[in-house]
Structure 1
Amino acid sequence: MSETQSDELPQLATQDEERPWLTMARLAEEGDSDALVAYVESLSTADQALALSRLDTEQMPQVFETLHPDEAAELLSHLSEAQAAQTIGLLDPSSAAAIIHELPSDEQADVLGDLDEDQANAILDALPATEAAAVRELTAYKDDVAGGLMVSELLRFNEKLTVGQMIEQLAGDLERDREMDVRYGYVCDDQNRLVGVLPMQNLLFVKRASRIADIMIRNPLSVRDTTPLEDLVEFFETHAFLGVPVVNSDGGLMGIVQRKAVDYEAFRAAESDYLKSQGIVGGEELRTMPLLLRSRRRLSWLSINIVLNLGAASVIALFQDTLQSVIALAVFLPIISDMSGCSGNQAVAISMRELSLGLVRPSEFLRVWWQEVSLGLVNGTVLGLLVAICAIVFDGNPYLGLVVGLALMLNTLIAVSIGGTIPLLLKKLKVDPAVASGPLLTTVTDMCGFFLVLSLATLMLSKLV
């Protein structure tokens, strides 16, 4: 960076500090690539993401086409996958391909996998043929299996090489890709089957004429390309590795899954489950996405919930005479519904977490149910007593306290039973528990809560009026 550019940088950084996208757009419009690179590097990762999210559809391509491809790739890697795909989708295929070329193979697959098929194919056609073929192979895997998480850039050596030949090959490999991980070399036979792993630091202590087959670690641990995320999380919890080689059904070396990639995907899976449980279906949502897309994703859950809630409303309609006779019940209906729902959601959260960590199996229905019932009996009794005391203080009638307290205790038992077991049942039925558990729990606890309060009140109506 020149001295003049360094002098200009503080001035650029102080301009529009609260609106960095304005400075970014202005520099891109001026076509000052070096100044734009300097300004982008002066921003934090969070400010970079903020600035890019505020650029309009005309400014975004201008910024990325003004940056050098390697700088644009670095900026793109700091964005979420949804933002990265949205950004790449705005560029022409040749510009997008130049940026994609600079990304690691796993990030290439992630970004292109989030584009529609025509956009992705146009960009792949602009990449070198061998690179495009490798990316197509990666995008064929799901995101939550080893094949979808692996990187194909690795040091691969034939077992017949000597250490001297290996070092010569290593120099050429690093010349082609300086970002490659050089801590381990992976040794294969003539059929590309993984036969050993070699810590590269070991090369310092052996003669160049030595065969690498004599100094490598034989029969290394590996995972299949179809290994699911849950098993990968368990693998890295059990082994203190930074990465593990990935092989296909024939034992052929495909790539490496790094611990950081597994941790990131596990975090994304948990985040996705949370969004689904809140009724945001279809993946990550950003407010910069098209309005109709965001609306459709939310309405897909909300519209179903209307139908489910009609069931709870119908219970109130059945007991409207009782409700009219004892107006005080209307005060406690939402309390019982909400408190039971909270207890049920706690049980859902624990079951979802244990399922994701592999700590419980869908077949362990009865064990989970008994543990939740035991807890629900204790918590339900405590909560029932508390709400009963509140009802007596509010209305002065002990029978009202008995009705609402008993209803809350029983509904808490129902809520934790459903909340703890329904994710297991849905998982066994191959239905996404993150999507379905919440609506089912809410509907059933509302219906049961209303029914318990109003039916008990009907039985004791003479004592309440």
Structure 2
Amino acid sequence: MTADAKIDINALEKPWENLHELVTAGEAEPLLAFLDLMSPTETALAISRLSSEDQSRLLTLLSPADAAEVLEDISETQAADMIEELSPAHAAAILEELDSDHIADLLGDMDEDSAAAILDNMAPEEAEEARQFLEYPPDTAGGLMISECLAYREEQRISDVLTDLQANRETYADYNVQYLYVTDERQRLRGVLRMHDLLFPVHAAPLSQLMIRDPHKVRVDAGLDRLRDFFEEHRLFGAPVVDEQNRLQGVVLPEAVEEAGRKRSVRQFLGLSGIIGGEEFRSMPLLVRSGRRLSWLSLNIVLNIIAASVIAIYQDTLAAAIALAVFLPMVSDMSGCSGNQAVAVSMRELSLGLVRPGELLRVMAKEASLGVVNGLALGLLLGAVAFFWKNNYYLGLVVGGALAANTLVAVTLGGLLPLLLKRLKMDPALVSSPLLTTVTDMAGFFFVLSFATAVLPRLSGG
């Protein structure tokens, strides 16, 4: 390792080539030494450029503990893909070296058959714990918590805790320990101890006398926004997670909540960009990447054909009043912006629990009233522009009326779409905005051209 440590990793233009050579050589020690020189970002870059065969060989050359450290440096999507290529027994050995929440995240990114095969090869206790974690939605306290925490019975004494800490110091060294939790005989949370609470009391003191009673806690089903609010209100290093019977299940850390928030933002961004199915990396197989993009594009092309057919139906109207072509994109774009505002409000209210998926009539009434007001205001503005440009009252009436009508449709539909998709057990962030944009285009074209056809003689004559 001393010879390899002289390598300047920053001077290597293509570290993945060096990594490939080390993997091909098949010696674990220099391979591990090279990986130790790289930052997590450099490790992720180098591994992503390896072939799937080299990636699998890399994990098999390293010990399970070292392989687990490598997986922690790369994205969960890539790590899950690499794990799936291994034998279930080898994959299980690596996963057992990870924290409980990381195990659940990786298994959740795999197909069910692969995850089941790996669970069958894990130690029974580890497998049972992982199955329990998989039952919780990923963006809840249950899905984000770690089970590696220290809990003691309320009748135990300080001396009992100190003895246990000393006896298991190597195991507990990997735990993120800021607090000790106190439970009763049914594992119900009774209190919490800070680490410095162990330093000064007499060793014979029972925990029940020293603990902070009724500590702040969160339920396993608490959502991501609730958790973020919790840690903003209570500046804690971690929060105990309890079930409906107040039994201690684990601990959720603020950094886990922050990371989950970043992941959700990425999913929403990808969904709004039309990439369905999760993260995409260019190192993924071509057909996988193609499928994730085509899943939305194939639907979108059908909707766009319908929108184009509206123009085809009214092509004579468009030919007779060519000025309409200038306003068609304006009407669809401005209405789309109004609709996306409604989508954003519904998404935010859903995340905060301020609206339920079944409250369609309430949301429709609220958005329709706003759509009338904003539609009239925007319609008058654009209609005036059209009138002064061509000095044609009917052109202004057609354009302004179409924008007003389409704004009403857009904000109403934009408010309802997230609720409808939520009721259908779909992620509203993935479909709402792209679907709304196409529908408002289609409706905008229809309103402009149908209104224009009704007054075509006066419109073309002006």
TM-score by length of 1: 0.87
SS in 1 for 2:199: helix
Tell me by how many angstroms 1:239 deviates. 2.9
State how far apart, in whole Å, the 1-side matches of 2:305 and 2:347 are: 27
Cα shift at 1:154? 0.3
Amino acid at match of 2:35: V
Secondary structure of the equivalent of 1:450?
A: helix
CA contact (8 A) 2:382 2:399 kept: no
1:351 CA drift (Å): 2.8
Hey, what does 1:458 align to over in structure 2? 453
Does the 8 A contact of 2:374 with 2:404 survive in 1? no
Counterpart contact for 2:378–2:400, Cα < 8 Å: no
In the TM superposition, residue 375 of structure 1 has moved relative to its aligned partner by 4.6
Percent of pairs with identical residues? 50
Q: 1:180 aligns with which of 163, 175, 180?
A: 175
Q: Which residue of 11, 32, 40 maps to 1:14?
A: 11
Moved more, 427-436 or 205-214: 427-436
- State the Cα deviation string for residues 378-435 of structure 1 (Å, max 9, x = none): 455445555x37x82xx67665455334433442343233223432344356554234
Do the aligned partners of residues 182 and 29 (structure 1) sit closer, same or farther apart at CA in structure 2, a change above 3 Å counting?
Answer: same
Q: What pairs with 1:434-449 in structure 2 (closer than 5 Å)?
A: 434-449=429-444
CA RMSD of aligned residues (A): 2.8
1:177–1:380 CA distance, 2 compared to 1 (3 A): farther
Greater shift in the superposed pair: 65-74 or 209-218: 65-74
Per the alignment, residue 40 of structure 1 pairs with: 35
In structure 2, the CA distance between the partners of 1:442 and 1:258, relative to structure 1 (3 Å rule), is: same
Q: 2:70 aligns to what?
A: 75
- Quote the Cα distance in structure 1 between the aligned partners of 2:53 and 2:303: 43
Supply the AA of the counterpart residue of 1:71: D
Letter of the structure 2 residue corresponding to residue 95 of structure 1: H
Q: Does 1:113 align with 2:108?
A: yes
1:161 aligns with 2:160: no
Match of 1:282 in 2: 277
Cα distance in structure 2, aligned partners of 1:379 and 1:322: 24
CA 1:22–1:70: 2 relative to 1, 3 Å: same
In structure 2, do the counterparts of structure 1 residues 164 and 431 end up closer, same or farther at CA, with 3 Å as the change threshold?
A: same
Following superposition, the deviation at residue 268 of structure 1 comes to: 2.0
CA distance in 2 between counterparts of 1:137 and 1:294 reads 31
Question: Residue 366 of structure 2 aligns with which residue?
Answer: 367
Task: Sort the Cα spacing of 1:48 and 1:358 in 2 relative to 1 into closer, same or farther, 3 A.
Answer: farther
Q: Is the 8 A contact 1:146 1:228 kept in 2?
A: yes
Instruction: Name the counterpart of 1:270.
Output: 265
Secondary structure of 2:138 counterpart: coil
Given that residues 372 and 404 in structure 2 are in contact (C-alpha distance below 8 angstroms), is that contact kept between their aligned partners in structure 1? no
- Secondary structure in 1 matching 2:190: strand
3-state SS in 2 of match to 1:205: coil
Q: More deviation in 55-64 or 266-275?
A: 266-275
Structure 1 position 128, deviation (Å): 2.9
How far 1:359 sits from its partner (Å)?
5.0
- The equivalent of 2:220 in structure 1 is 225
Residue 138 (structure 1) aligns with: 133
**What does 1:302-451 correspond to in 2, within 5 Å?**
302-362=297-357, 363=359, 364-365=362-363, 366-371=365-370, 373-379=372-378, 381-382=380-381, 385=384, 388=386, 392=389, 399-427=394-422, 430-451=425-446
Q: Does the 8 Å contact 1:160/1:211 carry over to 2?
A: yes
Deviations 1:177-234 (A, max 9, x none): 3221221001111222211111111112211111111100112233332333343334
SS state at 1:187 partner: strand
Superposition misfits of 4+ residues, deviation over 4 angstroms: 359-362, 371-386, 395-399, 428-431
1:333 partner letter: L
CA offset at residue 376 of structure 1?
Answer: 4.9
Partner of 1:58: 53
Range with greater deviation from structure 2 (36-45 or 320-329) = 36-45
Distance in structure 2 (CA, Å) of the matches to 1:240 and 1:415: 42
Relative to structure 1, is the Cα distance of residues 370 and 217 closer, same or farther in structure 2, using a 3 angstrom cutoff?
farther
Contact 2:136 2:142 in 1 (8 A): yes
In structure 2, how many angstroms separate the alpha carbons of the residues matched to 1:206 and 1:125? 46
Q: CA deviation at 1:341?
A: 2.0
| Shift, 1:81, TM fit | 1.6
Change (3 A) 1:426 1:121: closer
* Cα drift, residue 150 of structure 1: 1.3
Q: In the superposition, relative to structure 1, how do residues 380 and 22 fare at CA in structure 2: closer, same or farther (>3 Å)?
A: farther
Q: Residues 32 and 376 from structure 1, CA distance in 2 versus in 1: closer, same or farther, beyond 3 angstroms?
A: farther
Partner residue of 1:49 out of 26, 44, 66: 44
Contact 2:193–2:210 (8 Å) recurs in 1: yes
In structure 1, runs of 5+ residues without a counterpart are none
| Alpha-carbon shift at residue 111 of structure 1 (Å) | 0.8
Distance in structure 2 (CA, Å) of the matches to 1:196 and 1:455: 69
Helix, strand or coil for the counterpart of 1:58? helix
One-letter amino acid of the structure 1 residue matched with residue 66 of structure 2: E
What is the distance in 2 between the residues matched to 1:425 and 1:113? 26
Which residue identity lines up with residue 260 of structure 2 in the other structure? E
Residue 106 of structure 1 and its aligned partner are, at CA, apart by 0.3
Partner Cα distance (1:125, 1:464) in 2: 74
Stretches of structure 2 lacking an aligned partner (at least 5 in a row): none
